[in-house]
Amino acid sequence: MLTADSLPEMRGGADVAAHTSNLVEKLAIPNETVKAWVAERAAWTGVAAVEVIDAADDDRLLREAIAAGELIDLGNGTYYAHSHPKDTARTEERTFVGTDDPNDAGRFNNWRPASELRPEVDALMKDASSGKTMYVIPYLMANAPGSPLAKWGIGVELTDSRYVALSMIRMARVGQVAWDALGDGTDFVRGVHVTGDLDNLKRAASPTPTSPDDHRYFVTLTRDREILHHGSAYGGNALLAKIAHGLRLASFDAHQNGWLVDQMGLMGIENLKTGETKYLIVGFPSASGKTNLVMTEPPDALRDQYKVHFLGDDIVWMYVGDDNRIYGMNPEYGVFGVAPGTNAETNPAAMEAMQAGSGTIFTNVARHEETNEIWWEEMTPGYPEDVSGWLDWQGKRISDRPAGEQKSKAHPWAQRNSRFTSPLTLIPNISPEWDNAKGVPISGVIFGGRVSSPREPLIRQLPDPQTGVYDGAVMGVETTAAIDAPVVFRADPMAMMGFYSYPEQDFFQDWLSLVDRAGDEAPGFFHVNWFAKDEDGRFMWPGFGENLRALIWAIEQPARRQAEELAKAETDGLVNVTPAGIIPTPKALNTEGLSISEETLAKLLTYDPKLWETEVPRRNEYLAQFPSLPKALEDAHARFVDGVTSL
């Protein structure tokens, strides 16, 4: 690391730029374009030192972060961090896409002219890292260096947060692999993250994209392939390789170059009797159980029949291969999972991955100040018996609370969006194909999310891929803790709300184009719901490993359902064909060892025409927001409305 102290005194203006350039010149940056850009941004942000990061620096950075009080060593090879109490989740209202082409504006992507956004963010970043170290993080977002999509995954993040540097080492391929991929090229994603003064940062009480009193800016300049984030150190806002690059900017790159990006998990289900593995992509909103699902273990009764292979929990890059099959890959190197609700029953693979010696970083969970144990809601069946010594996520003693708030869901110990960050390689059921440069062929697309109404059944299949794209486009769910806002029911098309980088109707068309290019090799489309509640507000489906039963049914179905085949399946009592899709009967599912009543299972697989009729005005109003829609979606919507209202 080189510091300003190693140079003559900086006097400001041109002298600062010259000295910073001299400082950066001495760093081990093999690409001249990167070096010049780093010098420019270092001078602008006013950093005191600049350091180039490689994954091999992890141990040293951990020691430095512990010494500086930025992390707590839990004493077992895992680490604890907490964020600013007002900096715990993504803020969609302050997340922007910037270009100078108004045609890039969508309904949900918070588009603004780049010519306006850039100077606003630059003004906030000016000297905002004064006295800090700038960490230069070269990274590659791709499942392997030889991937056909790897060239779009090359990036460099500049950050003034050591926590971010450590998290990036866990979430992306950091260091020489990126320099090798870039070579002497000039096409890479330029990302700048400046934390800002979080204690005094201006935050609007009710933020909007135009709030003048809010200095949080999370900006992706898609056509410039540049990311500028100011005013947060929370993972989703600060790990620029993840959402800003891997999802938002990459989806724009994909749109321009004939491939596709979506917020999805990626998993394989192996039939242990035949040896065949089929791969599914899973589109749920953040904190809706994607991670638990793609890492799941089969229920006891099915463990000798099936095995789940984990490939990714948040982002999938897709393209059509030479064989016309759609291939998917996870560009990330780690897991940034939601802690609350994760336990040995819901996600044993994740719990094993974050054990002693894993290097996992836990953020905003509860911690025991003497033993350094950690805890979050539902990690164990109940709260720790003795609250003495326990600190909540803000470092406040649980024992200082009123007795009625010490063990109360209304007063959680861990922040509801608290996280664990671990490398993929520690997941015990990681697929042997996780780093196959080609990716894996996709057999099924699963959409879903939190819907407590029994309207949405456990699983339904859409009759063809085009109708499946329509179903994903009109999906509505209940919001989750990953968003800094009250829980409401809202549209979440393709589980991409908050991540769109170009007009949504064009994204829908890109999905349609992908399945059209795949033709007869296109995967089947399904919609699932694990969250339906009964009249007493209790979940009807046990969830977790039991969810595999629905997915096993899915991978056994043809992607396109022909009338004759469907009629036979219905006659045989295996499916019910409804305007909302094809719903299996209880008879069609493998229920061996399933511990719910036949009556409950029947309810979970029921089509209720009155409840579905309420979807018609919601979908009509929602689709009316878009200036134009692909004809295939208009036709699918017309079929849905006619079917639902004619019964």
- pLDDT tens digit sequence for 361-409: 999 999 999 999 999 999 999 999 999 999 999 999 999 999 999 999 9
Secondary structure, 3-state, 119-165: HHHHHHHCCCCCCCEEEEEEEECCCCCCCCCHHHHEEEEEECCHHHH
Question: Which DSSP helix (H) or strand (E) runs through 639?
Answer: helix 631-646
Q: How far apart are CA 469 and CA 467, in angstroms?
A: 5
pLDDT band of 1, cuts 50, 70, 90: low
Residue 619 burial (CB count, 10 A): 19
User: Each residue of 560-608: pLDDT tens digit?
Assistant: 898 999 999 999 999 999 999 999 999 999 999 999 999 999 999 999 9
H/E/C letters for each residue in 88-101?
A: CCECHHHEEEEECC
pLDDT of residue 481 exceeding 60:
no
The pLDDT-based confidence of 485 (bands split at 50, 70, 90) is low
What pLDDT does residue 17 have? Answer: 62
Q: Please compute the mean of the pLDDT values over residues 155-175 and round it to a whole number.
A: 98
Residue with tokens 């004493």: 75
3-state secondary structure of 80: strand
Fold classification of 2-55+87-258 is Phosphoenolpyruvate Carboxykinase; domain 1 (3.40.449)
The gap between the terminal CA atoms of the chain, to the nearest Å, is 71
Neighbours of 320 (CB within 10 A): 21
pLDDT of residue 478: 83
The distance between the two most distant Cα atoms of the chain, rounded to a whole number of Å, is: 86
Task: Name which of 141, 163, 143 is nearest 152 in CA terms.
Answer: 141
Report the alpha-carbon angle 238-239-245, nearest 5: 110
CA distance linking residue 337 with residue 334, whole number of Å = 9
Residue indicated by tokens 């043809």: 558
Query: Would you say residue 4 has pLDDT above 60?
Result: no
User: What is the SS3 assignment for 345?
Assistant: coil
Which pLDDT score is estimated for 556? 96
3-state secondary structure of 351: helix
By DSSP bridging, strand 49-52 and strand 133-140 are parallel
**Per DSSP, which regions of 390-431 are E strands?**
390-391, 419-423
pLDDT at 125: 98
**Exposure class string for 119-131: b at 16+ Cβ within 10 A, else e:** ebbbebbeebbee
User: So what's the pLDDT on residue 19?
Assistant: 60
Residue 356 pLDDT greater than 60, yes or no: yes
> pTM value?
0.94
Residue 131 dihedral angles phi and psi, to the nearest 5°: 85, -5
**Domain residue ranges in the chain:** 2-55+87-258, 262-335+429-646, 336-425
Q: What is the pLDDT of residue 228?
A: 98
State the Cα–Cα distance between residues 586 and 584, nearest whole angstrom. 7
Class of 336-425 in CATH: mainly beta
pLDDT band at 335 (very low <50, low <70, confident <90, very high): very high
Q: Is the pLDDT of residue 11 over 70?
A: no
**pLDDT value for 169:** 98
Say how far apart CA 637 and CA 623 lie, in whole Å: 9
Please give the share of the chain, as a percent, with pLDDT higher than 70. Answer: 95
Rounded mean pLDDT, 194-203? 97
Which tokens belong to 399?
A: 């024992």
Looking up tokens 């689709």, which residue turns up?
Answer: 623
Q: According to the model, what pLDDT value does residue 13 have?
A: 52
Q: What architecture is domain 262-335+429-646?
A: Alpha-Beta Complex (3.90)
User: pLDDT value at position 3?
Assistant: 56
Mean pLDDT of 234-248: 95
User: pLDDT band for position 14 (50/70/90)?
Assistant: low
SS3 172: coil
Q: Answer whether residue 461 shows pLDDT above 90.
A: yes
Length of the chain equals 647
Span of 101-110, 170-179, 558-567 with lowest mean pLDDT: 558-567
Q: Could you give the CA distance from residue 434 to residue 312 in angstroms, rounded to a whole number?
A: 8
204: which residues sit within 8 A by CB, 6+ positions away? 211, 213, 214
In eight-state DSSP terms, residue 390 is: E
Contact 314, 336 (CB under 8 A): yes
| pLDDT at residue 289, rounded to an integer | 82
Residue 417 confidence (pLDDT) above 80: yes
Express each pLDDT in 272-298 by its tens digit: 999 999 999 999 987 678 889 999 999
pLDDT over threshold 50, residue 242: yes
Average pLDDT over residues 99-104: 97
Answer left, alpha or beta for residue 611, where phi above 0 means left and psi between -120 and 50 means alpha.
alpha
Average pLDDT over all residues of the chain: 94
State the pLDDT at residue 490. 83
